[in-house]
């Protein structure tokens, strides 16, 4: 009998830690602190949350955004995130933050989109050439060279990039209008998808020789996020 | 005196046709029929609308989606839209439609995103290889070969494409969850932007020789929308 | 001991298949593929979803919209749906599709509302007299006769209908701005509710003799959806 | 020269009073007090607003909801509104109020929908039989008899009614989740539209003899709002 | 073996009653009736709901808003709520109601905000001095003296109050644009928080002697909600 | 004739600069760059925007967030904003940024709410004691001491503060989930409103002697925003 009670308690406990990944766009209570994802789970739009009575200050806290990201990689940049994956208290609240480090002489945060967020970036150190491209027909490029204290906006869903054109490290903080903004690095999604897109599609779309497409598809595509 | 009256009338008239391009996400009245854009105008999020008393059935109507689009172009496809630009009554209502024609043996609706809409497509004629790629880190490719009567969904903001792998014309209708979904054709926005993106950015991001980037940037990029 | 482990596994599995029917309006991740409803379940606004890692192309796919619906019924029409019930990948994405077939000489999609969606319809075959009515005070009727390739819009929440005035079958595709738009067929909801509305209410509201109301309430009301 | 100045001033003034009817769903400032509609105007989703510096307490105020509505009419009820038409300060704020009076022995607020709002009603006086019907397929009727102090909810978009089954006047206050909820009185929209719906549509949809439809369409349909 | 089956059933049952508190902003079905909160539970944004087939009229119903609230307390007022905690059918529907009673000669609903709702109030009995204050820089006060039948609006998020300046009881009904609007009574949150805010913060912010702050922080702060 | 043309041009120009302050929550085009406010104007929810063809990179840009704010004031802190007032390109995009400077030994960003935004803050320099208070009944205080690189979240609508407990300047960047989040400094709105709130209300609400209320109401209340 005791065994049964223990088992029931155990299962309920297992369950509590199992129902992960679910919340939503506009908060319906003061906060709804996310519970960590589970492997065998059921999900919701956003994240499941824990009992608000159990919320604590640590749920709204993260340390470490003073530590430079390692930029020794293919693109020479690193994005350190502070979104709902790192700060469960952000769940349902519609905002997040990143620190971005760029190596000197060409550190690049390559062309990408955030499918669910606008980005506002402030430069803390270094010199960045930044830009975004509008949608069809015009595909206008808006660019600016940014110095410390400069702010720039990348509207939701548009392709954008930042490029370190200085000879020192560059550092920026950027805020995003979603607790889970998502990132689509264009080159990675197009040439590095798993499995690969039919190369005829890419050769025609990008006006590239099919051999070059095949080469690109066999390369490694680093994700700096 | 008459001149003054005439002038006032003229200015009000000019104004009425001038206040263009403004409405919004969730309707706050039965409908809010858009007024056409003006050259010298003031705008709002969405479109300005006309007096609801002046709305007529034609504002909610469009003809011509039975006419095949001309696919004699670089990519071998043509998108014929029925959104708020063509049907002013769609303003504020959050939905639109397109007809897509694909030339035989390789007509391609090239990789693109809709920054403000999910797409649901139904094939009316022909055989299409279609797919979308998820965001980072995984960049998983979801594909399917579609035949007449088959339906496929492309989630909001994700890169997707359709490719005619049959030896006949292909035709599809697709609906989008916005009256003004927007289109970003990836290759056009990246290699055909105006002005051009710094080629160092694209060479590094796409792991391409800078000469190839320069060649691509000098090409013509057809917009099939 | 093994039995206990097995039991825990079993319960977790049972749970996974049990938590059904829940998601929401604006996607907070790339997608959130719905899990089928359960009988003993807990629900959420929208639908619960499965682990995104388990999503597959089939979740975004449906076949069969090339097959004519059976119009041998009371109203002479049939709606074949492609919404979140048929395509779990539509969950959270805010759009759906239907095929509508109309019998010749009077096939009718009777006056109804979608409480959560605007509809945009394109005629593929035949001739339809379509219309919608605005809200109080004016209750203006907007109508149009549609031929193949014609498009018409029915704004969210308004009463609307389509009527085959031609001597051939008619076919249309219609998109709706919700993954679960809902349908309220006016006559069915008013005269065919379960249980019946107090006939005094309907006699007064519709200026009908109470005997006629009683007759109407005893009839069968076909749901063409 | 003075004439020109006068003219400019006059045109700007005309403009200010002309830009009517436009705001939106979620407030982007403390408030956005509506300006009254104009005859020659340009509109927006919702209402245009006045300079917030000119807002005054009266913009958020209405008197008179203590005065019984006149129920000497076809349906024996009267709805006295307090929405954005009466209280301009409600613009963008997503809520409104009504007082409803019901004549003794059968005063009826006939079956209707609010296309943009849920309703919550509290009875102040009298006895009401109230109900709503769910959407297809089930069309379930939910009813309750209400006494003073009783509260009932009518979910957004569903057909609902209130009926005075007592021998005294009845009075209720009801709140709606929109500053402009809209009302569609079912019988009025179906049988009293302007112009009339093709009677073949209504005869088939409501299983009524066409003569009865013609009679109904020639009647007067009182709007109690 | 039977014991195992029983155990599984028991756990599933326990689960069903355990998954509480979760739904969301815009309904995705006719309704989504909330299930009561549990102690050991998992939560979602809003509330979990029960199987729609099990919904009944009582879920949309509450009685007792005719009963005066007890105003024999520190502030001389009492708020009787009718929100999603009392009426589970309100879940996802974005509206709620309260009755407010005020003692004669100074009954006060003290300065507070609703973080998620605009309020519209109608006076049923008595005389109220009401007001709200706009945000920085101006902090303008909008006030009005209200009599029976008078209506006033308190925009979302702004500090507001009602004060009985008459010599009789006062009664009002107020509707709020959320099923769970939340209340922050300013004095209680600032001086009565648990644990107490560092008194140096409050002394500086409120220009008060630290002794007075300490006194205030040791007092009892009545919550009239 | 030329005079008339000039006049028309002049009026249209006047109009263009006059239609100010209007946009909205969810973008319906790539961007909708705000036009500056005017004195004699008509407004919309959000801001009016300029012709997208006239948008330029400067509309999405601001410099100066590297410059320390002047903290020589009553509360010892200064907020330097980067919202839609400073960056017109933020209009409709739902995000903004601030830099906050705090004087050593007690620089305070006093208790306040943002009625339309959640805040996420990252410390760049110094040591801050920060906190927020939940809504009724509990009014729980969540606090944390933050060092450089630490991040904290203040959920939408809740009262929160930051206090420099170190002996050096402190600096933070904070992002807000609205292009126009609004600020309500509690002490300023309660004791510094214009005109003053009836002191009987504040004496009762804050359990303060009326003389103290009168004194507080006669003081100057610095707005650090």
* Nearest CA distance, C127 vs chain B (angstrom): 13
Nearest-Cα residue of chain C relative to residue A46: C28
Read off the tokens for A155: 């509207």
Q: Do B23 and F26 touch (CB under 8 A)?
A: no
Q: Do B24 and D19 touch (CB under 8 A)?
A: no
Nearest-Cα residue of chain E relative to residue F189: E139
Among the partner-chain residues D142, D149, D177, the one whose CB lies closest to the CB of E60 is D142
Q: What residues does F121 pair with on adjacent strands?
A: F152, F174
Q: What residues does F80 pair with on adjacent strands?
A: F99
* Nearest CA distance, D112 vs chain B (angstrom): 15
| CA atoms of F189 and F184, how far apart (whole Å) | 7
* DSSP letters for chain A: -HHHHHHHHHHHHHHHHH--S---SS-SSS--PBPPP-SS-EE-SS--EE-GGG--GGGGEE--TTSPP---STTSEEEEEESTTT-GGGTTS--EEEEEEE-TTT-EEEEEE-TT--EEEEEEES-EEEEEE--TTT-BEEEEEE-TT-EEEE-TT-EEEEEE-SSS-EEEEEEESSSS---EEHHHHHHS-BS---HHHHHHHHT--HHHHHHHHHS------
How many CB pairs below 8 A link B and D?
Answer: 76
Residue-wise pLDDT for A160-170, tens only, equals: 999 999 999 99
- In a mutagenesis test of the F interface, which of E197, E214, E215 is the best target, namely the one with the most F β-carbons within 10 Å? E197
In terms of residue numbers, what domain contains C213?
A: 184-224
Together in a domain, A192 and A140: no
Q: pLDDT at residue F116 above 60?
A: yes
Subunits close to B (at least 3 CB pairs below 8 A): A, C, D, F
Q: Do B197 and A161 touch (CB under 8 A)?
A: yes
The H or E element containing residue C129 is strand C128-133
How many CB pairs below 8 A link B and F?
Answer: 75
Residue-wise pLDDT for C95-151, tens only, equals: 999 999 999 999 999 999 999 999 999 999 999 999 999 999 999 999 999 999 999
Mapped onto helix, strand or coil, the DSSP state of residue F17 is helix
Residue holding tokens 């709620």?
E96
Together in a domain, A154 and A130: yes
**Do the domain assignments include residue F104?**
yes
Contact F6, B5 (CB under 8 A): no
Task: Give Cα separations from E10 to A4, A9, E6, E17 (angstroms).
Answer: 11, 12, 6, 11
Binding residues of F for Mn(2+) are 112, 114, 119, 160
Q: Find all residues with CB under 8 Å of F112, minimum gap 6, and list them.
A: F159, F160, F161, F183, F184, F185, F186
Numbered residues of chain E with Cβ closer than 8 Å to any chain C Cβ: 4, 7-8, 11-12, 15-16, 19, 22-30, 32, 35, 44, 46, 48-52, 91-92
**Do the domain assignments include residue C153?**
yes
**Do the domain assignments include residue D190?**
yes
Q: What is the pLDDT of residue B26?
A: 80
Among the partner-chain residues C24, C28, C92, the one whose CB lies closest to the CB of A180 is C28
Together in a domain, F197 and F159: no
Together in a domain, C151 and C120: yes
* Nearest CA distance, D18 vs chain B (angstrom): 9
Q: What is the pLDDT of residue C21?
A: 24
Together in a domain, F88 and F125: no
Q: pLDDT at residue A10 above 50?
A: no
Residue holding tokens 């759009």?
C95
Together in a domain, C87 and C99: no
Q: What is the pLDDT of residue F192?
A: 98
Among the partner-chain residues B19, B26, B51, the one whose CB lies closest to the CB of D25 is B26
Q: What is the pLDDT of residue E26?
A: 80
**Do the domain assignments include residue B163?**
yes
Please report which confidence band the pLDDT of residue C202 belongs to, taking 50, 70 and 90 as the band edges. very high
Q: Write out the E strands in chain D.
A: 42-43, 49-50, 61-62, 77-82, 96-102, 108-113, 119-125, 128-133, 141-146, 151-154, 159-164, 170-176, 184-185
Q: What is the pLDDT of residue A26?
A: 80
Together in a domain, E177 and E152: yes
Kindly state the DSSP code that residue F36 receives in the 8-state scheme. P
Together in a domain, D211 and D173: no
Nearest to F64 by CA among F86, F85, F95: F86
Nearest to D142 by CA among E53, E83, E22: E53
Nearest-Cα residue of chain E relative to residue D86: E151
**Cα–chain-centroid distance for residue A81?**
7
Q: Which residues in chain D are closer than 8 Å to B52, comparing Cβ atoms?
A: 43
Contact E188, E135 (CB under 8 A): no
Q: Do E45 and A50 touch (CB under 8 A)?
A: no
Q: What is the pLDDT of residue E25?
A: 52
Q: Do A30 and E178 touch (CB under 8 A)?
A: no
| CA atoms of D192 and D218, how far apart (whole Å) | 8
Q: Which residue has the higher pLDDT, A183 or C6?
A: A183
- Percent of chain C's residues with pLDDT above 70: 86
Binding residues of B are 109, 112, 114, 119, 160
Residue-wise pLDDT for F151-202, tens only, equals: 999 999 999 999 999 999 999 999 999 999 999 999 999 999 999 999 999 9
Residue-wise pLDDT for B120-143, tens only, equals: 999 999 999 999 999 999 999 999
Q: What residues does D132 pair with on adjacent strands?
A: D142, D160
Together in a domain, F131 and F149: yes
Nearest to C191 by CA among C223, C160, C155: C223
Q: Do C116 and E46 touch (CB under 8 A)?
A: no
Residue-wise pLDDT for B128-181, tens only, equals: 999 999 999 999 999 999 999 999 999 999 999 999 999 999 999 999 999 999
Select from D93, D114, D143 the last residue of a domain. Answer: D93
Together in a domain, E89 and E109: no
Q: What is the pLDDT of residue C43?
A: 87
Subunits close to E (at least 3 CB pairs below 8 A): A, C, D, F
Please report which confidence band the pLDDT of residue C35 belongs to, taking 50, 70 and 90 as the band edges. confident
Residue-wise pLDDT for B34-82, tens only, equals: 987 544 468 888 988 989 999 999 999 999 999 999 999 999 999 999 9
Please report which confidence band the pLDDT of residue E20 belongs to, taking 50, 70 and 90 as the band edges. very low
Residue-wise pLDDT for B18-37, tens only, equals: 222 222 358 999 999 998 75
| CA atoms of B123 and C123, how far apart (whole Å) | 15
Together in a domain, B58 and B121: no
Farthest CA pair distance, chain E:
73
ipTM, 2 dp: 0.88
Q: Which residue has the higher pLDDT, B33 or B5?
A: B33
- Residue ranges of alpha helices (H) inside chain E are 2-18, 186-191, 199-206, 210-218
Residue-wise pLDDT for E91-114, tens only, equals: 999 999 999 999 999 999 999 999
Residue-wise pLDDT for E137-192, tens only, equals: 999 999 999 999 999 999 999 999 999 999 999 999 999 999 999 999 999 999 99
**Do the domain assignments include residue F200?**
yes
Q: Do D8 and F3 touch (CB under 8 A)?
A: no
Residue-wise pLDDT for B212-222, tens only, equals: 999 999 999 99
Read off the tokens for A69: 């990201």
Residue-wise pLDDT for A38-75, tens only, equals: 444 678 889 889 899 999 999 999 999 999 999 999 99
Task: Give Cα separations from C175 to C10, C179, D94, F132 (angstroms).
Answer: 41, 10, 28, 45
Contact C18, E12 (CB under 8 A): yes
D225 is known to lie in a ligand binding site: no
Q: Is the peptide bond before E73 cis (omega within 30 degrees of 0)?
A: no
| CA atoms of A94 and E25, how far apart (whole Å) | 14
**Cβ neighbours of C106 (radius 10 Å):** 16
Burial of E169 (0-12, 13-18, 19+ CB in 10 A): middle
Nearest-Cα residue of chain D relative to residue B44: D44
Please report which confidence band the pLDDT of residue F37 belongs to, taking 50, 70 and 90 as the band edges. low
Q: Do E149 and D66 touch (CB under 8 A)?
A: yes
Please report which confidence band the pLDDT of residue E11 belongs to, taking 50, 70 and 90 as the band edges. very low
Q: What is the pLDDT of residue B22?
A: 25
**Cβ neighbours of A67 (radius 10 Å):** 11
pLDDT < 70 regions, chain D: 1-25, 37-41
Among the partner-chain residues E12, E91, E92, the one whose CB lies closest to the CB of C14 is E12
Together in a domain, D101 and D162: yes
Subunits close to D (at least 3 CB pairs below 8 A): B, C, E, F
F183: left (phi over 0), alpha (psi -120 to 50) or beta: beta
Select from E93, E113, E144 the last residue of a domain. Answer: E93
Contact D14, F42 (CB under 8 A): no
Please report which confidence band the pLDDT of residue F43 belongs to, taking 50, 70 and 90 as the band edges. confident
**Do the domain assignments include residue D146?**
yes
Residue holding tokens 């009625």?
F115
Q: What is the pLDDT of residue D37?
A: 53
Q: Which residues in chain A are closer than 8 Å to C7, comparing Cβ atoms?
A: 7
Among the partner-chain residues A7, A19, A28, the one whose CB lies closest to the CB of E46 is A28
Q: Write out the E strands in D51-187.
A: 61-62, 77-82, 96-102, 108-113, 119-125, 128-133, 141-146, 151-154, 159-164, 170-176, 184-185
Q: Which residues in chain A are closer than 8 Å to C34, comparing Cβ atoms?
A: none
Q: Which residues in chain A are closer than 8 Å to C14, comparing Cβ atoms?
A: none
Please report which confidence band the pLDDT of residue E18 belongs to, taking 50, 70 and 90 as the band edges. very low
Read off the tokens for D152: 């009932």
Number of domains in chain A: 3
A167 is known to lie in a ligand binding site: no
Among the partner-chain residues E157, E161, E225, the one whose CB lies closest to the CB of F136 is E225
Subunits close to F (at least 3 CB pairs below 8 A): A, B, D, E
| CA atoms of F171 and F67, how far apart (whole Å) | 11
Q: pLDDT at residue A17 above 50?
A: no
Q: pLDDT at residue F46 above 70?
A: yes
Contact B22, B43 (CB under 8 A): yes
- In a mutagenesis test of the E interface, which of C14, C45, C95, C178 is the best target, namely the one with the most E β-carbons within 10 Å? C45
Contact C19, C35 (CB under 8 A): yes
Average pLDDT, chain C: 88
**Do the domain assignments include residue D3?**
no
Read off the tokens for E51: 């199987």
Nearest-Cα residue of chain E relative to residue D172: E173
Q: Do D191 and C206 touch (CB under 8 A)?
A: yes
Subunits close to A (at least 3 CB pairs below 8 A): B, C, E, F
* Nearest CA distance, A89 vs chain B (angstrom): 23
Residue D112 is part of a domain; what is its CATH number?
Answer: 2.60.120.10
**Do the domain assignments include residue D5?**
no
Residue-wise pLDDT for A82-120, tens only, equals: 999 999 999 999 999 999 999 999 999 999 999 999 999
**Cβ neighbours of B6 (radius 10 Å):** 11
Q: What is the pLDDT of residue F101?
A: 98
Nearest to C165 by CA among C109, C84, C208, C90: C109
Mean pLDDT of the region B114-124: 97
Q: Which residues in chain B are closer than 8 Å to F23, comparing Cβ atoms?
A: 44-45
Q: What is the pLDDT of residue A41?
A: 66
**Cβ neighbours of B93 (radius 10 Å):** 27
Least confident piece of the model among B60-64, D20-24, F128-132, F216-220? D20-24
Q: Find all residues with CB under 8 Å of A125, minimum gap 6, and list them.
A: A148, A168, A169, A170, A171
Among the partner-chain residues F3, F18, F44, the one whose CB lies closest to the CB of D22 is F44
Q: Which residues in chain C are closer than 8 Å to A3, comparing Cβ atoms?
A: 4
Q: Which residues in chain B are closer than 8 Å to D18, comparing Cβ atoms?
A: 12, 15
């Amino acid at each position: 009998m005791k065994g049964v009670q223990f088992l029931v308690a155990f299962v309920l406990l297992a369950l509590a830690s199992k129902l992960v990944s679910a919340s939503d766009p506009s908060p319906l209570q003061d906060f709804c602190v996310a519970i960590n994802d589970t492997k065998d789970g059921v999900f919701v739009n956003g994240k499941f949350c824990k009992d608000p009575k159990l919320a604590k200050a640590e749920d709204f806290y993260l340390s470490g955004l003073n530590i430079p990201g390692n930029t020794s990689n293919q693109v020479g940049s690193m994005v350190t995130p502070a979104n709902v994956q790192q700060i469960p208290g952000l769940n349902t609240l519609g905002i997040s933050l990143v620190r971005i480090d760029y190596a000197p002489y060409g550190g690049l945060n390559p062309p990408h989109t955030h499918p669910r967020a606008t980005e506002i970036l402030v430069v803390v150190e270094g010199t960045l050439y930044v830009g975004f491209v509008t949608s069809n027909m015009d595909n206008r490029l808006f660019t600016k060279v940014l110095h410390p204290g400069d702010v720039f906006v990348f509207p939701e869903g548009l392709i954008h990039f930042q490029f370190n054109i200085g000879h020192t490290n560059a550092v920026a903080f950027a805020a995003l209008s979603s607790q889970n903004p998502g990132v689509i690095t264009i080159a990675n999604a197009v040439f590095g998808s798993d499995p690969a897109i039919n190369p005829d599609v890419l050769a025609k779309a990008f006006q590239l020789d099919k051999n070059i497409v095949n080469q690109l598809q066999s390369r490694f595509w680093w994700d700096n996020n």
